[in-house]
Amino acid sequence: MQIINSGIMFVAIHMRTGVEMEDADEWARALGSRVRAKESEIRGREQAVAMKREIIAEKMPGKWDELMRLFQSHCEAHNRNNNPPRLLSCHPLGHDTFEVKPEALPAIVTVAFNRSTYEIMVRTPSGAKWYLPSAVMRNNGDVDLVERGNSHELISLPQIVMESLADAILRGRIDY
């Protein structure tokens, strides 16, 4: 830059065009590379999210079936080992809901599966807990469950069953 004073002050800017053009071209190429890298990263994340959604959609109905079997087997084990006066059993209330109840008494546990969000709700005398799916990208993909509000701690299906039944039997007001 050169300043010329001839009574009237003005600024004249003299630039060498060759060097700046090369810098501009280099900058544009570098920016283009960064844009492509960012787009690739976004596509990768979008693909991972889509894969996780597919895994959840594929695996959660099986998890629901397994949860129902576990509740039934734990009720049978409780009946066999503790010989309660009123036997516990599972009673379906449709395709996506069932209850655990002692004979001739109201339900002590209600379990429901939301097929659109893939959430599982377990209601006991202490209140309801919601379990959300978390896709795991290992082998062919799997689904772990986390309790709503505590997304850092995984919970297993047997753990859900044992905690729910213990809560219902020990804390519930069941006279059986």
Q: Where are the domains of the chain?
A: 59-170
Q: List all residues 6 or more positions away from 109 whose beta carbon is below 8 Å from its beta carbon.
A: 71, 99, 100, 101, 122, 123, 124, 164, 165, 168
Q: List all residues 6 or more positions away from 176 whose beta carbon is below 8 Å from its beta carbon.
A: 84, 85, 86, 102, 103, 105
Predicted local distance difference test score (pLDDT) of residue 120: 97
Predicted local distance difference test score (pLDDT) of residue 142: 84
Residue carrying the six token digits 């036997």: 87
Whether 56 and 133 have beta carbons less than 8 Å apart is answered as yes
Predicted local distance difference test score (pLDDT) of residue 135: 87
As given in the structure block, the two tokens for residue 149 are: 């509000």
pLDDT digits (tens, 9 = 90+) for 150-170: 877 899 999 999 999 999 998
Residues of the chain falling short of pLDDT 50: 1, 19
Instruction: Kindly report the pTM of this predicted structure.
Output: 0.75
> Is 59-170 in CATH node 3.40.50?
no
